[in-house]
Structure 1
Amino acid sequence: MPFFSARGRTPRLAPELDDADLGKLLKRLLSASRLNMAGGTEICVAQMAQVLEPDDLSADRRAHRLSVLAEFLSASHLPGAWARREPRNARALVLHAWSALEQGRGAGRMTDAAATWKTCLLAAELAPEDPSPWVVMLGVARLERYAEREVFSVWNEIVARDRWHREAYLSMLAYLSPQEAGSLGQVLEFVGSLRTRMPANAPCASVELAAHLLQYHSAMARGGTEALLARNHWNGERAARFLDRALATWPSPAFFSHAAAVADLNLLAYALTAAGGPRETAPVFDAIGGKVTSWPWRVEGDPVAAFETARNKAR
């Protein structure tokens, strides 16, 4: 599993992004799973709690850590073990529910959506200010094709707690897309309403770019003439204006402060590469520093190889 490298700027899949404490935890969990040592579960649970429960941890940073751990541990017994040990611990419950959601995404359906939903409701009761249980419920509602009113009810609970929650906005974008339950018109309306209200450096600033990528990848997937002309998407007024604005601001170290900023820079580097402007992309790759995200690079095949090819062209 090529998650880790000793050289900081050597391209590598980095689910932790620039979160050093999370990266150390992922290494420990990976080593523990390989060693299968006695008392390993207790040690791992304690280490997870240490990373997820500091009093000074921001809600944005905690959400990032939860989402990464949930995907990393989707096939592990650890989230369930922690939830059983501490059935009134909101963080343990959310991690357990989120890992079940990630496992369901991999399988195409939830094993027990009702149980996961119930776990989220209990977590929400224990930590009423935390949007994370509701973010998981939004994922469950999408995967299980719940009624639109239920999806929007959950969405309203999220934004009432965190106005610019990155994971929630990207999830809602996917729900409104033609590939799921919506249409291109709904995507454009969603992005347009967000553009007029959202601070330029909000955690969900990449939603508009993600929408452009959805349209670009849809054209590529259709093949034929549409695939050949897909690059023209980036020459459109809206896409070109967005890329110019993002290139001028996003790579600055002082612009973004949210936990997934490096993931957003990966999106921007990919889009600029797809648009055919390799020289313009160099500052973005410098800001990324070799920390590769699986999406969107995996669309081109091996994500690390695709990233490295694009970075070499930029240089």
Structure 2
Amino acid sequence: MAREGARPGYDPAGHDAALRATLQEVRTGRWMSMRRLLGETTAWWQWTQRTQVLAAAAAGTDVVRTWLAEEPYSVPGTVMRARVAVERALRAHREQHARTLDLWREAWQASHTATQAAPQDPVPWVCLLALARLDRERRWEEHRLAPPGPMLPPGPWGLLAEADKRDPYNREAHHRMLQFLYEHGTSGRLAEAVGYAHWAADTAPPGSALHVLPLYVRVERYRRSGGRDAALDLHWVAEDATREAQRARYAWFEQTFEAERSPLDLNHLAHALWGALQFPEAARVFDALGPYWTPLPWAYRSPEPGDRGQALEVFLQARARCRPA
């Protein structure tokens, strides 16, 4: 439990101490620790999480290229090459960089190579799902397949199915699908994303992080509304908002161990329970966060969403309000 009033820090590794140590090595261009850590990672949920965080750190370096120069047939290295290529393509997309198309092609090829090198691994398919959002016109047939259920839109369902086949209810795969729907939703509306998030949560077993998905969509809806308006506080205390927060707590938080919980999911749950005035329940989630926090979703409740300091103040105020309960 974090000391009362202590200021938390942002750390993408969260409670994963082994990943944190490896990140320090990767940032300085050393790859041996990464190879060792990935070699010790056996659970798909942890493999997915670790490769994603490592790729974000490695994308600005040549560390994976150096690794593959030494071990060109390394399967984990091949998967990490795809991860890094996708991270670079997505960054270029966000920044509207002139090389986005080239980086997209490189990432697509690297991801397909990884599907062949690691046929049982869900991550290469998660990579292809992540790239689907770059196809804004849905020109690729694999990005507009018929959905598996009613009231769901066409999309890259085949890619999601491949990831799901290898790791059922893979957290990142479903978040990538949600991001695709954010980007491709009809007329900018979130109805498709809302329907998808509830469909995914309804089909997920107890303990699955997919029960938190509706909380992400509610935050996105608030963000698009402009937020930071007292009248919009009702957005968080509405009956359906309270129901979503409590369901995520019961079906996910209460059914998992500390190591399995994403810091981002914990922050979204703490935020949702606080917003729904469920202070005792929120306090337990804040305690589970310990010394860590993430800027989102708190940034959207601050006067300047891009100001991390303001986001931290919102987090601290929310935690202080919930702790006495």
Q: Same fold (TM over 0.5)?
A: yes
Q: State the match for 1:229 in structure 2.
A: 231
Aligned-partner Cα distance in 1 for 2:66–2:174: 30
Aligned-partner Cα distance in 1 for 2:140–2:220: 21
Matched, 1:121 2:112: yes
The correspondence for 2:247, drawn from 245, 248, 252, is 245
Which range moved further: 13-22 or 229-238? 229-238
Whether the aligned pair in 2 keeps the contact of 1:297 and 1:306 (CA below 8 Å) is yes
Higher relative contact order, structure no. (Cα contacts within 8 Å, ≥ 6 residues apart):
1
Secondary structure of the residue aligned to 1:16 is coil
Aligned-partner Cα distance in 1 for 2:110–2:92: 20
Change (3 A) 1:61 1:144: same
Alignment of 1:19-58 (within 5 A): 19-30=16-27, 33=28, 41=29, 44-54=30-40, 57-58=42-43
Q: State the match for 2:89 in structure 1.
A: 104
Whether the aligned pair in 2 keeps the contact of 1:91 and 1:123 (CA below 8 Å) is no
Q: State the match for 2:121 in structure 1.
A: 130
Aligned-partner Cα distance in 1 for 2:277–2:45: 33
Which range moved further: 158-167 or 179-188? 179-188
Runs of 5+ in structure 1 lacking a partner?
1-8, 34-40
Q: Which amino acid aligns with 2:33?
A: Q
Q: How many residues align?
A: 290
Aligned-partner Cα distance in 2 for 1:87–1:232: 55
**Fraction of identical pairs, as percent:** 27
Which range moved further: 129-138 or 90-99? 90-99
Shift of 1:249: 5.9
Whether the aligned pair in 1 keeps the contact of 2:67 and 2:77 (CA below 8 Å) is yes
Change (3 A) 1:248 1:134: closer
Shift of 1:60: 0.9
Matched, 1:211 2:212: no
Q: Which amino acid aligns with 1:238?
A: D
Change (3 A) 1:249 1:115: closer
Secondary structure of the residue aligned to 2:236 is helix
Shift of 1:220: 2.7
Shift of 1:10: 4.6
Whether the aligned pair in 2 keeps the contact of 1:206 and 1:264 (CA below 8 Å) is yes
Aligned-partner Cα distance in 2 for 1:219–1:59: 36
Runs of 5+ in structure 2 lacking a partner?
1-5, 144-155
Shift of 1:280: 4.4
What whole-Å deviation, never above 9, does each CA across 1:124-177 have from its counterpart, x for those lacking one? 111111110111111112124353632313222212222201011111112113
Q: State the match for 1:262 in structure 2.
A: 263
Alignment of 1:147-226 (within 5 A): 147=139, 149-151=141-143, 152=156, 153-177=158-182, 179-182=183-186, 183-220=189-226
Aligned-partner Cα distance in 2 for 1:306–1:202: 28
Matched, 1:309 2:314: no
Aligned-partner Cα distance in 2 for 1:165–1:259: 12
TM-score for the superposition, normalised by structure 2: 0.79
Whether the aligned pair in 2 keeps the contact of 1:262 and 1:291 (CA below 8 Å) is yes
TM-score for the superposition, normalised by structure 1: 0.81
Which range moved further: 139-148 or 20-29? 139-148
Shift of 1:258: 6.5
